[in-house]
């Protein structure tokens, strides 16, 4: 799996990325560029990262990135668990 990242095009510092964690698990990273950095682990196997890529890309384009991210993941039935906040 390749890592990828998206930055807000609205001029905000919002960042969403996908990476492999220390144990090889897929993780989603959010950073607002100021005070908030969150990491979630994707629960279960994700052989195709296209749905994750689409969810992150759509969410980072919204004004309220985190609520949009949760909605996009829910719509695609992608389960996550908190790693760090």
Above 70 in pLDDT, residue 2? no
Query: For residue 75, what pLDDT is reported?
Result: 97
- Integer Cα distance of 36 and 73 in angstroms: 20
How large is the C-alpha radius of gyration of the chain?
Answer: 12
Q: Model confidence over 7-66: pLDDT tens digits?
A: 887 766 889 999 988 888 999 999 988 889 999 999 988 778 899 999 999 999 998 999
Considering only 19-23, 43-47, 70-74, 80-84, which range has the smallest mean pLDDT? 43-47
Q: Strand runs (DSSP E) across 10-84, as ranges? A: 15-20, 26-31, 37-42, 80-84
Answer whether residue 73 shows pLDDT above 90: yes
Looking at the whole model, is its pTM more than 0.85?
Answer: yes
């Amino acid at each position: 799996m390749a890592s990828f990242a998206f930055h807000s095009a609205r001029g905000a510092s919002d960042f969403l990325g996908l990476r492999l964690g220390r144990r090889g698990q897929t993780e989603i990273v959010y950073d607002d560029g100021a005070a908030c950095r969150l990491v979630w682990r994707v629960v279960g196997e994700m052989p195709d990262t296209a749905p994750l890529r689409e969810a992150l890309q759509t969410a980072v384009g919204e004004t309220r990135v985190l609520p949009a991210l949760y909605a996009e993941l829910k719509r695609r039935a992608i389960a996550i668990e908190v790693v760090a906040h």
